[in-house]
Amino acid sequence: MDELKVTDPRTLRAYAHPLRLSLIGLLRSEGPMTATQAAARLGDNVPNCSFHLRQLAKYGFAERIPGADARERPWRATAQTTSWDDDSDDPAMRAAADQLNRVLLGSLVQRAQDYLTERAGETAEWRAAAGFSDYLVHVTAAELRELAGQIDELIGRFDERATDPATRPPGTRPIQLIHLSVPND
């Protein structure tokens, strides 16, 4: 259950929905759960979550697994990560990737705004550790790819913790690191 590489624009557009992204993120971070459990965690209603879980399954992002009893019907993510090419020459794929990237950016901005609202309730230790920064660097496209690869390698040190809670030291929390690399001219 490593990575799902999406190469079809229709599949990418199906993925580009805020609730679907939240659902798949929830399944990846917390493991299998029913539509009822997902709805409770996300503050949504069961029929809506159930519909979007079925859509995720239709496009290969989620699947049903056996439950504890005949009534329980949990879902799980089919991969720990999803990737797609942002540099496709296919106009339909480029448009689908742009649509997904816009939805992701909106979700990330909302999460950052939510953090600012909640930040006062954090301990001093976590307020000092979390935060915002940006850097302006002058690089070639090749150097930017190399830098992104180095960042991926550094973050990769913590990959096992995403899927195996036993590897998480006491005091760990899920933290969302956001990496944007956009030209500034």
Q: Count CB-CB contacts under 10 A for residue 35.
A: 22
Give tens-digit pLDDT for 127-184: 999 988 889 999 999 999 999 999 999 999 998 888 788 999 999 998 988 888 888 8
Give tens-digit pLDDT for 61-87: 999 998 777 677 899 999 999 999 888
Residues of the chain with CATH 1.10.10.10: 3-131
Question: H or E stretch including 145?
Answer: helix 141-156
Radius of gyration of the chain (CA): 18
**According to the model, what pLDDT value does residue 9 have?**
96
pLDDT-based confidence at 90, cuts 50/70/90?
very high
What is the residue whose two structure tokens read 């490593």?
2
pLDDT-based confidence at 185, cuts 50/70/90?
confident
Percent of the chain with pLDDT over 70: 99
Average pLDDT (83-111) is: 93
User: What is the reported pTM?
Assistant: 0.82
**According to the model, what pLDDT value does residue 1 have?**
54
Give tens-digit pLDDT for 14-27: 999 999 999 999 99
Residues 6+ apart with CB under 8 A from 78: 1, 4, 60, 61, 62, 63
CA–CA separation, 148 and 142 (whole Å)? 10
Whats the size of the chain, residue-wise? 185
State the architecture of 3-131 in CATH terms.
Orthogonal Bundle (1.10)
